Amino acid sequence: MSPLPERLTGRWDNPFRQSYDDAVCWHLLLGGDPAVQAAATVARQRLAGLTGLHMTPPEWLHVTVLRVGTADQVTQDDRSRIIAKAQDCLARTAPVTVTLERVFYHPEAIALSVSPRSALSPILSAARTATREILGTDDRDGELDEWAPHLTLCYSTTEQPAAPVITQLGKTLPAYEVTVKEMSLVVQDGPEDLWNWKVAGSARLLGGPGARHG
């Protein structure tokens, strides 16, 4: 488990962070799930009154799977082909149920860890396979760190002590179960904090009892 940070920093003040402006990403869009909305509501209530936090819009609550590239690098044709390949990869993968409970504190963001993370491994594999086949590489090529899927509740917008936030929110929320049924390719138009997202398409998890595949 990662140690708790002593201070939070402004997410968009870090010139060395990977930019998500104009990014094309594979996300698990979970904002429509009642359990995810319930978890976010609890977090918002606990954090009420604190400043320096930028909350994820409820409709865009998500788990980032893979950054594919930028909108000017990934053409419309690329997007269509990547989605089709990912759908082929996930055609025999059944929907997976995961739990959101433990709060993860990063200096730039506060999130809920997804467990068991191994349940989402086939989804990451499909995203990487589809992206590599069409673009020749993927954003995790060369990375040694294991993927740690998480659902970001909010970002820090300023330098501030972490203790008041940790005290208010705590280390866990009530456990919420969420079933993941699809992975979406999302295009961000402009700066990350504007949340101007457009869904290019989705690849569904079609496996399971009684599933037929041609």
Residue 157 included in any domain = yes
Task: Say if residues 174 and 43 touch (Cβ distance below 8 Å).
Answer: no
Phi, psi of 131 (to 5 degrees): -70, -45
Report yes or no on 24 lying in a domain. yes
Q: How many residues are listed for the chain in this entry?
A: 214
**Number of structural domains found in the chain:** 1
Residue 186 CA to residue 200 CA, distance in Å, equals 6
Residue 210 lies in a domain: no
CATH code, domain carrying 172: 3.90.1140.10
Does a structural domain hold residue 211?
no
Is this model's pTM higher than 0.85 or not? yes
Segment 130-150, tens digit of pLDDT: 999 999 987 766 554 688 999
Residue 13 within a domain? yes
Enclosing domain of residue 17 = 7-204
1, part of any domain: no
* Residue 2 falls inside a structural domain: no
For 188, the token pair is 């961000």
Render pLDDT for 23-41 as a digit per residue (tens, 0 to 9).
Answer: 999 999 999 999 999 999 9
